[in-house]
Amino acid sequence: MSEDERAIREVVDKWMDATRDGDLSAILDLMTDDVLFMTPAREPFGKQEFAAISEAMKDADIEGRASIQEIEVSGEWAWLRNRIDLTVTAAGVSPVHRSGDTLTILRKGRDGCWRLYRDANLAS
């Protein structure tokens, strides 16, 4: 496994840990400022809307796991195919389970850190 692949796997692990811990700041640090998220049945959205959605869910308990299926690295660009499985539990609401595949493009910054650039999340 290359150093870049190891670093990308670490990004995914950090994302999942920060999600579980409700650490929005850590999650935002793992994405570029011009990140774009694509999900079913809605227009693509960026970092600010991601933060607003996350803030609205700050009292929810999110448990999940990610299983990377593929990683390809080409210079300062990479993509990964990932299978995610999440359960979101909020007060007074039945837990919601989502699972599915994601296709993520990452970009390596000038600081040498990999960050999410584009993410197509098909979890339903």
Q: What is the pLDDT of residues 77-106, one digit of tens each?
A: 999 999 999 999 988 889 999 999 999 999
Overall domain count for the chain: 1
How many residues can be counted in the chain? 124
State how far the Cα of 107 lies from the Cα of 93, in Å rounded to an integer.
37
Sheet holding 114-121, edge to edge: 31-38, 114-121, 96-108, 77-89, 61-74
Q: What is the CATH number of the domain that holds 56?
A: 3.10.450.50
Q: Quote the domain boundaries for residue 77.
A: 3-121
Residues of the chain scoring pLDDT < 50? none
